[in-house]
Amino acid sequence: MTSNNLSITVNNSYSQALYELAEENRNLEKVEEEVSAMLKLIGENNDFKSLINDPTNKKKDLLNVMTLMSKEFNFTDIFSKFLNFLVNKTRLFYLEKILKDFLIITSNKKGEIIAKLKAAKPLNKVEIENIKKDLTENFGGNLKLNFEYDPSLIGGIIIQIGSVMIDTSIKSKLKQIETKMIEA
C-alpha cells in the first residue's frame, strides 16, 4: 500500500468515526452544518487554510485556535473534540479532505445523489432551484446540488452527477475549437 493510499484510508477512518459519533449522539444534522461551515471557512479564508496546513505550528497554538473557534461558532462537543483530536494526532492538515469525506458519507447514508453545478455567473436561489428541479426529474428525487461560481468558464454551465458531465461552457467550446484547429 502506497503512502497516498494509506492517507486516503486514514482520512476515511476519521470521517467515518465522526459520522458514527454524530449519529450515535443524535447530532448528525448539526455536525453536518458545522462541517459545511468549516469547509466554507477553509475555502474562503487563506490565512486559516495556511494555519491548518502549516506543519511548523505548535499543537498548543492550534488547540487554542480550535478552542476559540469552537466557542465563537458554538460547535457541538463532538465536533469541537474531534478538531482537538486531529490536532493532537497531527492530522489537522488532512482536515479539508476528512470533512469532505464526512459529507460524502452523510449523503450516501441519506441516499442522496450529489450534483455539482458550476456557472460563469452568480446564480440566485430561484435559478439554482430551477436547475435542481430539472435535474431531480432526470436523476431522481433525493438530489443535493452544490453550486460554485466560476468566472473562468466565460459563459454557460457545467453540471456533474457521478460520471455524467454536461458542459455547455464557452471555455470548453473554445478548447474544442482550438483542438480542431491544431489537428487541421
The Cα–Cα gap between 156 and 168 comes to 5
The Cα–Cα gap between 31 and 15 comes to 12
Residues 101 and 138 in one domain: no
What single-letter amino acid sits at 43? G
pLDDT digits (tens, 9 = 90+) for 26-49: 999 999 999 999 999 999 999 999
Residues 101 and 10 in one domain: yes
Residues 19 and 95 in one domain: yes
The Cα–Cα gap between 132 and 160 comes to 12
pLDDT digits (tens, 9 = 90+) for 60-105: 999 999 999 999 999 999 999 999 999 999 999 999 999 999 998 9
pLDDT digits (tens, 9 = 90+) for 113-158: 888 999 999 999 999 999 999 888 888 778 888 899 999 999 989 9
Q: What are the DSSP calls for 134-183, one per residue?
A: HHHHHH-S-EEEEEEE-GGG-SSEEEEETTEEEE--HHHHHHHHHHHHHH
Residue-level pLDDT at 57: 93
Average pLDDT in the chain: 89
Q: Is the pLDDT of residue 11 over 70?
A: no
Residue-level pLDDT at 5: 47
Task: For residue 76, give the DSSP letter.
Answer: -
Residue-level pLDDT at 2: 44
Of the residues 48, 82, 108, the one at which a domain ends: 108
Structural domain range at position 149? 112-183
Residues 133 and 119 in one domain: yes
Distances (CA, A) of 108 to 63, 95, 161, 173: 31, 20, 14, 33
Q: Is the pLDDT of residue 12 over 90?
A: no
Tell me what percent of the chain is helix, strand and coil, each rounded to the nearest 5: 65, 10, 20
Residues 76, 34 contacting (CB under 8 angstroms): yes
The CATH code of the domain that includes 62 is: 1.10.520.20
Task: For residue 117, give the DSSP letter.
Answer: E
Report the relative pairing of strands 143-149 and 164-167 from DSSP bridges. unpaired
Residues 24 and 52 in one domain: yes
